[in-house]
Amino acid sequence: MLALETVVVTLVFLFLLFCLRLYVVLKSGAKYKPGSKGSVSVLVAVGSGRGHTTEILRLLGSLSSAYSPRYYVLAQTDRMSEDKIHAFESSREQGDSEFSVFRIPRSREVHQSWSSSVLSTVNALCYSVPLVFRLKPDLILCNGPGTCVPLCLVGLLLGVLGLKQVVLVYVESLCRVQSLSLTGRILYPLTHYFFVQWAALRDKYPKAIFLGRIV
Amino acid sequence: MKTVFVTVGTTSFDELIEAIISPAAVEVLKDRGYERLVLQVGRGTVFPTSKTCSHITLETFRYKDSIAEDIKNAHLIISHAGAGSCLEALSAGKPLLVVVNDKLMNNHQLELAKQLHSDSHLLYCTCSTLTATLRTMNLSILQPFLLGQPQNFANFLDKALGVK
């Protein structure tokens, strides 16, 4: 019985410590300035919808060459984004094309049931951990597809374990005028910079950053 | 030739295709000076040919890698409420009439079409009001749609992350 009590107390203690660390990571990430070391490596979560991919490449197109290298992470089932990424990278200035493409299992299909979504997200998480732990990006940039969630969670985990500070940036899709996507609702409390593109959402989500339409 | 381009994206929207090739709708289009109708029907089961609709020059296809040319050559675009189609038409500066599919009322994609309508960037109707809308529409009230400014995002992020 003593052993069981010890285990329970240890688990509760670890859980509270985890929550405290998570709180610290979220607060400090908002002040962390990776740009001061020169370059900012970016992990980009790429969705398999034409809209998501178009929007994220528009955002990346505006970023300077300081945001390098760029690590694109796609769902395994995505067939179309890789061509767009290569086309985008070759359109950048000479010498500013340090990038790689990685694939992880899809977290969730549209309209997938809740229970199987949890399973597939956990599966995606298992692949995300070694990938993000190896890349240790300064910044994770995402805009909505299911690939975002496991990647952002692992980004936070890197911070919680004290291995690397990762800034999480989320840009909600232009299509979301009145309501956030499911990914948006999950990541709203867990990201450092959360952008919305319409005033109605800024009013509903006070922590969101509103700069008007940015894609 | 003044051309109308109808697009349904990757969806199936038979009601729209049937409504636009109906004799009443075709007559209204011709009265307004349109001489050519191009239909992109996606997954739809209705595939009109010049046999089924002989009163106007007609071209029908399911998909193309890019509909940029069709949009460029059109004088009026009639589209389902999909965000991609709307934004493509608006970015090309073309007058846009969005037809809402009553069967997909809870689709969040309607949010964008509704907002763009309320900002006077596009006109809005349903299949049953299509002909009436075509007859009375005033395209001159449409406001030009300006593209988003990703530079504002970059400036913000540079400052936030301390990038020089």
Lowest mean pLDDT among A12-16, A47-51, A150-154: A47-51
In total, how many domains does chain A have? 1
Chain A residue numbers touching B163 (CB-CB < 8 A): 35, 40, 64, 66-67
Q: Select from B112, B150, B156 the Cβ nearest to the Cβ of A58.
A: B150
Which residue from A minimizes the CA distance to B114? A177
Binding-face residues of B in 90-129 toward A, CB within 8 A:
108-109, 111-112, 114-115
Q: Is residue A56 part of a domain?
A: yes
CB contact under 8 A, B114 and A63: no
A148 pLDDT tier (thresholds 50, 70, 90): very high
Indicate the helix (H) or strand (E) that contains A42.
Answer: strand A42-45
Tens-digit pLDDT profile for residues B46-104 = 999 988 777 899 999 999 988 999 999 999 999 999 888 999 999 999 999 999 987 77
Cβ-Cβ contacts under 8 Å, B152 against chain A: 211-212, 214
Nearest to B84 among A50, A138, A178 (CB): A50
Is B47 at the interface with chain A, CB within 8 A?
no
If we measure between CA atoms, which residue out of B104, B102, B122 comes closest to residue B112? B122
pLDDT in tens, A50-76: 788 989 999 999 999 999 999 999 988
Say how far apart CA B121 and CA B143 lie, in whole Å. Answer: 5
Chain A residues whose beta carbon lies within 8 Å of the beta carbon of residue B7: none
User: d(Cα A1, Cα A60) in Å, to the nearest integer?
Assistant: 56
Picking from A63, A179, A198, the nearest residue to B154 by CB comes out as A63
ipTM: 0.93
Chain B residues near residue A197 by CB distance under 8 angstroms: 148
Whichever domain contains A60, its CATH number is: 3.40.50
Show the 3-state SS of chain B.
CCEEEEECCCCCCHHHHHHHCCHHHHHHHHHCCCCEEEEECCCCCCCCCCCCCCCCEEEEECCCCCCHHHHHCCCEEEECCCHHHHHHHHHCCCCEEEEECHHHCCCCCHHHHHHHHHCCCCEEEEHHHHHHHHHHCCHHHCCCCCCCCHHHHHHHHHHHHCCC
- Both tokens assigned to B6: 């109808």
Q: Which residues of B touch A212 (CB under 8 A)?
A: 148-149, 152
Residue type at B29?
A: L
Q: Domain residue spans in chain B?
A: 3-161
Q: Answer whether residue A45 is part of any domain.
A: yes
Strand, coil or helix: what is A110?
coil
Q: CB distance from B151 to chain A under 8 Å?
A: yes
Q: Are B141 and B123 in contact (CB under 8 A)?
A: no
Q: Which residues of A touch B (CB under 8 A)?
A: 32-36, 40, 50-51, 54, 58-59, 61-64, 66-67, 138-139, 167, 169, 171, 173-179, 193, 195, 197-198, 209, 211-215
Question: Is A60 among the domain residues?
Answer: yes
The pLDDT assigned to B105 comes to 63
Asked if residues B78 and B55 have their Cβ atoms less than 8 Å apart, the reply is: no
pTM (global) more than 0.80: yes
Q: Searching chain A, which residue's CA lies closest to the CA of residue B9?
A: A50
Check residue B120 and give its pLDDT: 96
Task: Report the chain A residue with the minimal C-alpha distance to residue B145.
Answer: A213
| Residue A159 domain-assigned (yes or no) | yes
- Asked if A171 and A180 count as a contact pair (C-beta separation under 8 A), the reply is no
CA A42, CA A65: separation in Å to the nearest integer?
11
Parent domain of A122 = 39-76+113-169+186-193
Mean pLDDT of A28-56: 91
Which residues lie below 8 Å from residue B46, measured CB to CB, with a gap of 6+? B14, B17, B18
Residue A191 corresponds to which tokens in the numbers above? Answer: 């990201």
The number of C-beta contacts closer than 8 angstroms across A and B is 83
The percentage of chain B sitting over the pLDDT mark of 90, rounded to a whole number, equals: 81
CA A48 – CA A74 distance, rounded (Å):
8
ω before A69 within 30° of 0 (cis)? yes
B3 vs B83, more confident: B3
Find all residues with CB under 8 Å of A163, minimum gap 6, and list them. Answer: A133, A136
pLDDT at B106 over 70: no
Q: Is residue A204 part of a domain?
A: no
The reported pLDDT for the residue numbered A51 is 83
Q: Which residues contact A148 (CB under 8 A, 6 or more apart)?
A: A45, A142, A170, A183, A187
- Using pLDDT thresholds of 50, 70 and 90, give the confidence band for residue A105: confident
Q: Which residue has the tokens 């997200």?
A: A121
CATH number of B3-161: 3.40.50.2000
Chain A residues in contact with B151 by the CB 8 A cut-off are 62
In this prediction, residue A1 has a pLDDT band, given cuts at 50, 70 and 90, of low
Is residue A174 within 8 A of residue A197, CB to CB? The reply is yes
Q: Is residue A142 part of a domain?
A: yes
> Which residues lie below 8 Å from residue A26, measured CB to CB, with a gap of 6+?
A156, A190, A192
